A = this chain, B = another copy of it.
Amino acid sequence: MQFSINQKDLYQALNIVRRAVAKNQTLAILTGIYLKVNNNTLILKSTDLELGIEYKIEIEATEDGAIVLPANQFLNIIRELPSEKIKMSLNVDKWQLEIRCGNSLFKINGYDPDEFPSLPTVEASAKFNLPAVKFKEMIEKVRISTSKDETQPALTGALFEVNPDEVRMVSTNTYRLSYINAALKTAVSEKVEVILPGSTLQELSNLLDDEGSVEIEVDNNYASFNFAGIEVISRLIEGKFPNYELVIPDEFNSNFTADLSNLHSAVKRVSLIARLDANIISINAKPDLMEINSTEGSSGYAHEEVEIELTGPEQKINIDAGYFIDVLKVLKSDDINIEMIGPLNPLVVKSEDDMGKFIYLIMPVRSQS
């Protein structure tokens, strides 16, 4: 293997594939990045066996070959090299890569590439495209509600439902729920319904750009996402996603609109006190203002007022401040619309545009008498 590449291009490529490198050391070779030169193309790969990423760049090569290099070490060295042409050459006997750039010479010991697991292939039972910007937005809105509890695997991911006319994503940890439905035409002939892991959503959200489209293929075990030269392959979560439709209320008793940024600041401040306890805040919606209070604990008390316009009777509810802050962070509009039924029913955040509908539920916490 012998090739040359610009420092900038290689650093950017490594920053893409590093996202699927295994974090724990169960299998040393998985903490590495696989590099293969084939016919003037450099192929970079990484996988933690749940998620795999492959990225390709055109290079100038004089000899084909492959090696696996320790990811952190390789990335650190490439980051510190000057923004110049880097020359790589492989010593196959030692599995050692020689890196030359300016007055620098590095020799990094790696692994036999034959020991690197192949990324799974998706036997496309369904294949369709989504606009990257919309898919990214959907992911960001459902990612926040996935559960960390590994005993209920289906809840650690998000339901991904694709129909010919709409795409839906849903996630819940049973205390809150994100639902987003987009009116997007897709090429699927029959409904696709799978669960994408939370970690996959996280990395897709990091990698997706606001431009172009994502080509998605799904079978029973894996989903692949192709965009901007990147291929992400993710294992699917087995199991049944709970019947979320039952949880989303059809009606409400009161609703109001508030300035998103004012509300965000106010909730963050009350949480500074509330989090010293259980991070529960009480929300009191009155005709023209909303009160947000912490409980009066050993460390103190916080009270905020935000202007609103309430329709319907006054409402009071106790909720987890963290769950509220998560949705306030992810919304991009100027205003926020909130619907309430009563103190024992969820608080509902809703937004809607031509493209679709977003619903976010926060379950109430029983009054801490």
Contacts and interface: CB of A to CB of B under 8 A. Distances in A.
Interface of A: 70, 73, 76-77, 80-82, 96, 103-109, 265-266, 268-269, 272-273, 276, 296, 298-306
Given A73-B272, A272-B73, A276-B73, A300 B106 contact: yes
Contacts of A77: 269, 272-273, 302
Nearest to A80: B269
Contact of A299 (B73, B103, B104): B73
Contacts of A265: 80, 82
Contacts of A73: 272-273, 276, 299-300
Nearest to A262: B103
A107 B305 contact: no
B103 A70 contact: no
A304 B76 CA distance: 16
A306 B104 CA distance: 9
A104 to B, nearest CB: 5
A103 B266 contact: yes
A139 to B, nearest CB: 29
Given A80-B265, A82-B265, A265-B82, A302 B106 contact: yes
Count chain B CB atoms within 10 A of each CB in A81, A106, A304 and give the residue with the most.
Answer: A106
Contacts of A106: 269, 273, 300-303
Number of copies of this chain in the oligomer? 2
A304 B276 CA distance: 52
A300 B305 CA distance: 61
A29 B105 CA distance: 55
A162 B310 CA distance: 70
Given A73-B272, A76-B272, A103 B304 contact: yes
A93 to B, nearest CB: 15
A306 B103 contact: yes
A269 B81 contact: yes
Given A73-B300, A107-B302, A108-B273, 19 more contacts: A70-B299, A73-B273, A73-B276, A73-B299, A77-B272, A77-B273, A80-B268, A80-B269, A81-B269, A103-B266, A105-B303, A105-B304, A106-B273, A106-B300, A106-B301, A106-B302, A108-B300, A109-B298, A109-B299
Contact of A107 (B70, B266, B300, B304): B300
Contacts of A305: 103
A200 B107 CA distance: 43
Nearest to A299: B109
Nearest to A291: B103
Contacts of A70: 299
